């Protein structure tokens, strides 16, 4: 019996792979993509075989160990997924083992404890808010309040992401016990029929489309019109026994779409995301690997499922920032989809109501091809120039019809935006971050909070420097909600901070009122103008009668799509003039440690100093943080070496390629 030698990627933050020996009657090609259980120093872990050889590798006299077991009857990944994940690992400067671990079903992540192999990862738990606001909630600690606000803002967040940003399990459990957040239970996906309904099949029988192996865009189209197009597309592909993967930025969007499709596609329709039970995740994974002619609705974690006869990927709401992972490795769905397109030679549709600037530019230079004509905007668009001091009096005049549904988009969460001293001409700042503190209110009690480090302060009425009476400036959704409850008790009015990334999970309204979206033009992020354009225009697709924009900017929208095009063209020219994305590449580095000093990382900084676009320091949760934005730094091997050396010194280093937030 001859030995084979296999290269294994392990779920560790080391930029290397490991070689092991295998006994048995295996073929090299049968081992690629298989899980293997292996010893490593003083512990044992699962790994994935990424290559195999009949010849022993030359590794400087290292004595190779035998694997302990091959637990699966078939590979988890094919060679194509391995190739894609290698490219993702290189691009995002992350270990290949962690990239594989990111995509692998939770039930397959094993480790050896007390000489017994067992699942390493518990089921990924997704939490959602169980309250709409901070009003009238029971008394909670500052840390609990901080986490609750994050969950309210995001809508849903995984347990691993919560821990990644610094919250303990006890804080999570306290919020659950007080019924302020709840676990998102696995959805019950009931199959309604063994076959696709004949009536639906007949309706779309005449539809034909020929998508080449290219990149396409489906934008400027109402969500419900996109859904009708998807139904036709799905039926057409299923008639040829081809499979489709549709990726969404959130589970709530998947749930909304699933409810609309389940009676049509029945047993052809699959769901995959991190909130599924471990057993169901594994079952869906291997079903999709072995069945042709399927439709999968999934989140970013579904992208490496080796779906049989996968012939099309749709990235729904492709402009969403939620596609950027908040945990290591910090990958982004669009890049992964692009690598799949290249490796598997299949078409990709980037779908969104309003495209990102990146996709707009890609269409402009013919890298992406538009797929359909734009929708005609149905609602009337009205722009009102009203001062913020007069806004609440004017809302009384605008909201007049009791039997109509209204949505007010406040764009900001706080009760008020800052405390200002007219004598000192200064705002009350966070003592660590030196940014203005926001005013929040719950149970009729106000408090101050730093939106950067989330530190909570007691509310004050007088300037700490000169004792002059402080003035509250601005407002957010908390104050708007308070006003609406008081003045419009029997009206159908909802107040939201944003409706971005909720194309299918937010209903339509007769009237939508968008309050002062121009604040995005004044944020330090160079993407502010692009975000402003999306916040300004997307609500037009959710209004039935009228979309009202209230602003103090000189906004003129005579032609809706002409305005969008001109705004994109102007922003592209600015980005080009300053050599900003998409005309350059950015990398975000964050060094953090208790009592960390700049001289502690001076040697690292020298390696990339000439590429620094911006840098800043902060103090969050007891740690000193030094952050750097690098422009067009291409030596990623050097970054990997810096990571290794920083880790050896006990310094945490986050490497974020193509960052969305910094």
pLDDT digits (tens, 9 = 90+) for 79-100: 999 999 999 999 999 999 999 9
Q: What is the pLDDT of residue 402?
A: 93
pLDDT for residue 166 is more than 80: no
- What is the per-residue pLDDT across 371-412, written as a single tens digit (0 to 9) for each? 999 999 999 999 999 999 999 999 999 999 999 999 999 999
- What is the per-residue pLDDT across 96-120, written as a single tens digit (0 to 9) for each? 999 999 999 988 888 777 777 766 5
Alpha-carbon span 375 to 16, nearest angstrom: 50
21: confidence class by pLDDT, cuts 50, 70, 90? very high
554: confidence class by pLDDT, cuts 50, 70, 90? very high
Phi-psi region of 314 (alpha: psi -120 to 50; beta: other; left: phi over 0): beta
Burial of 280 (0-12, 13-18, 19+ CB in 10 A): middle
The helix or strand, by DSSP H or E, that contains position 90, with its residue range, turns out to be helix 79-91
Q: HEC string of 129-158? A: ECCCCCCCCCCCCHHHHHHHHHHHHHCCEE
Burial 632-646 (b: 16+ CB within 10 A, else e): ebeebeebbebbeeb
203: confidence class by pLDDT, cuts 50, 70, 90? low
Burial of 513 (0-12, 13-18, 19+ CB in 10 A): buried
What one-character-per-residue DSSP string does 474-497 give? ---HHHHHHHHHHH-TTSEEEEES
Q: What is the pLDDT of residue 194?
A: 41
Closest by alpha carbon to 406, among 294, 513, 319?
A: 513
3-class DSSP assignment, residue 220: coil
Average confidence (pLDDT) over 355-383: 96
Query: Residue 578's CB: how many other CB atoms inside 10 A?
Result: 12
Question: Which 8-state DSSP code applies to residue 67?
Answer: P
More confident: 153 or 628? 628
What one-character-per-residue DSSP string does 233-274 give? HHHHHHTTT-EEEEE-S-HHHHHHHHHHHHHHHGGGEEEE-T
What percent of the chain is predicted at pLDDT more than 90?
A: 71
Of 50-64, 77-91, 254-268, 440-454, give the range with the top mean pLDDT. 77-91
Phi-psi region of 241 (alpha: psi -120 to 50; beta: other; left: phi over 0): left
Q: What is the pLDDT of residue 63?
A: 85
311: confidence class by pLDDT, cuts 50, 70, 90? very high
121: confidence class by pLDDT, cuts 50, 70, 90? very low
Question: Which 8-state DSSP code applies to residue 404?
Answer: S
Contact 377, 540 (CB under 8 A): yes
pLDDT for residue 192 is more than 70: no
Q: What is the pLDDT of residue 201?
A: 54
Closest by alpha carbon to 623, among 206, 238, 165?
A: 165
The torsion angles phi and psi of 246, rounded to 5 degrees, stand at: -115, 120
135: confidence class by pLDDT, cuts 50, 70, 90? low
Average confidence (pLDDT) over 66-74: 90
Contact 414, 438 (CB under 8 A): yes
- The distance from CA 463 to its chain's CA centroid, rounded to whole angstroms, is 39
Q: How are strands ordered across the β-sheet holding 369-370?
A: 269-272, 295-298, 243-247, 310-316, 348-352, 215-219, 369-370
Burial 346-373 (b: 16+ CB within 10 A, else e): bbbbbbbbbbbbbbbbbbeeeebeebee
pLDDT for residue 245 is more than 90: yes
Q: What is the pLDDT of residue 206?
A: 64
Alpha-carbon span 456 to 143, nearest angstrom: 9
Alpha-carbon span 584 to 419, nearest angstrom: 38
By mean pLDDT, which of 19-28, 119-128, 252-261, 312-321 is the weakest?
A: 119-128
Q: What is the pLDDT of residue 188?
A: 39
Alpha-carbon span 86 to 108, nearest angstrom: 20
Between CA 197 and CA 208, with CA 202 as vertex, the angle to 5 degrees is 115
Closest by alpha carbon to 467, among 423, 500, 507, 506?
A: 423
Q: How many CA atoms lie within 13 A of 405 on its CB side?
A: 9
634: confidence class by pLDDT, cuts 50, 70, 90? very high
Q: What is the pLDDT of residue 124?
A: 62
More confident: 181 or 628? 628
pLDDT for residue 193 is more than 60: no
- Mean residue pLDDT of the chain comes to 90
Contact 23, 3 (CB under 8 A): yes
pLDDT for residue 465 is more than 60: yes
- What is the per-residue pLDDT across 525-547, written as a single tens digit (0 to 9) for each? 899 999 999 999 999 999 999 99
Contact 302, 245 (CB under 8 A): yes
Question: Which 8-state DSSP code applies to residue 297?
Answer: E
Alpha-carbon span 378 to 136, nearest angstrom: 39
More confident: 347 or 143? 347
């Amino acid at each position: 019996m001859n030995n084979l030698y296999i290269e294994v990627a392990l779920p560790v933050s080391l930029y290397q792979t490991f070689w092991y020996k295998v006994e048995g009657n295996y073929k090299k090609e049968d081992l690629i993509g298989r899980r293997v259980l292996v010893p490593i120093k003083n512990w044992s872990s699962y790994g994935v075989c990424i290559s195999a050889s009949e010849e022993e590798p030359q590794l400087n006299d290292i004595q190779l160990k035998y694997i302990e077991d091959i637990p699966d009857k078939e590979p988890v990944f094919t060679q194509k997924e391995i190739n894609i994940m290698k490219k993702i690992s290189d691009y995002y400067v992350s270990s290949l083992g962690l990239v594989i671990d990111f995509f692998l079903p939770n039930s397959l992540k094993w480790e050896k404890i007390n000489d017994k192999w067992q699942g390493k990862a518990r089921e990924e738990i997704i939490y959602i808010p169980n309250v709409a606001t901070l009003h009238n909630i029971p008394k909670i600690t500052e840390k609990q309040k901080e986490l609750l606000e994050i969950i309210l803002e995001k809508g849903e967040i995984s347990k691993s992401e919560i821990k990644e940003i610094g919250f303990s399990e006890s804080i999570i459990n306290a919020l659950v016990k007080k019924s302020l957040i709840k676990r998102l239970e696995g959805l019950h996906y009931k199959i309604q029929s063994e076959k696709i309904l004949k009536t639906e099949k007949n309706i779309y029988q005449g539809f034909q489309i020929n998508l080449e192996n290219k990149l396409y865009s489906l934008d400027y189209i109402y969500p419900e019109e996109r859904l009708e197009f998807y139904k036709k597309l799905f039926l057409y592909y299923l008639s040829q026994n081809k499979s489709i993967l549709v990726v969404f930025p959130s589970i709530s969007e998947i749930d909304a779409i699933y409810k609309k499709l389940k009676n049509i596609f029945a047993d052809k329709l699959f769901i995959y995301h991190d909130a599924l039970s471990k057993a169901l995740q594994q079952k869906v994974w291997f079903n999709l690997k072995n069945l042709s002619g399927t439709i999968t609705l999934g989140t970013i974690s579904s992208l490496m499922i080796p779906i049989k006869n996968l012939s099309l990927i749709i990235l729904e709401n492709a402009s969403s920032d939620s596609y950027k992972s908040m945990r290591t490795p910090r990958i982004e769905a669009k890049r992964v989809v692009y690598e799949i397109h290249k490796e598997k030679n299949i078409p990709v549709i980037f779908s969104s109501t309003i495209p990102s600037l990146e996709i707009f530019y890609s269409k402009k230079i013919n890298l992406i091809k538009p797929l359909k004509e734009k929708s005609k905007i149905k609602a009337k668009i009205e722009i009102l120039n009203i001062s913020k001091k007069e806004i609440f009096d004017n809302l009384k005049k605008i909201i007049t019809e009791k039997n109509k549904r209204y949505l007010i988009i406040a764009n900001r969460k706080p009760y008020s935006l800052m405390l200002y001293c007219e004598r000192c001409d200064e705002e009350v700042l966070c003592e660590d971050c030196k940014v203005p503190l926001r005013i929040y209110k719950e149970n009729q009690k106000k408090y101050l909070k730093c939106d950067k480090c989330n530190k909570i302060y007691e509310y004050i009425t007088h300037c700490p420097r000169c004792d002059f009476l402080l003035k509250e400036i601005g407002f957010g959704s908390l104050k708007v909600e308070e006003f609406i409850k008081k003045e419009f008790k029997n009206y159908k009015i909802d107040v939201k901070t944003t409706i971005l990334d909720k194309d299918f999970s937010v209903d339509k309204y007769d009237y939508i009122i968008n309050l002062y979206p121009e604040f995005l033009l004044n944020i330090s992020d160079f993407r502010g103008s692009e975000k402003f354009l999306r916040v300004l225009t997307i609500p037009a697709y959710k209004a039935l009668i009228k979309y009202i924009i209230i602003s103090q900017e000189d906004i003129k929208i005579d032609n809706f799509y002409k305005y969008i095009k001109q705004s994109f063209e102007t922003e592209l020219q600015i980005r080009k003039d300053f050599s900003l994305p998409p005309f350059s590449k950015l990398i975000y580095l964050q060094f953090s440690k208790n009592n960390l000093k700049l001289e502690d990382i001076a040697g690292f900084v020298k390696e990339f100093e000439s590429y620094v676009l911006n840098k800043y320091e902060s103090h969050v949760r007891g740690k000193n943080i030094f952050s750097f934005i690098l422009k067009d730094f291409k030596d990623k091997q050097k970054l990997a070496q810096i990571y290794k050396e920083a880790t050896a010194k006990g310094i945490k280093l986050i490497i974020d390629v193509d960052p969305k937030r910094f």
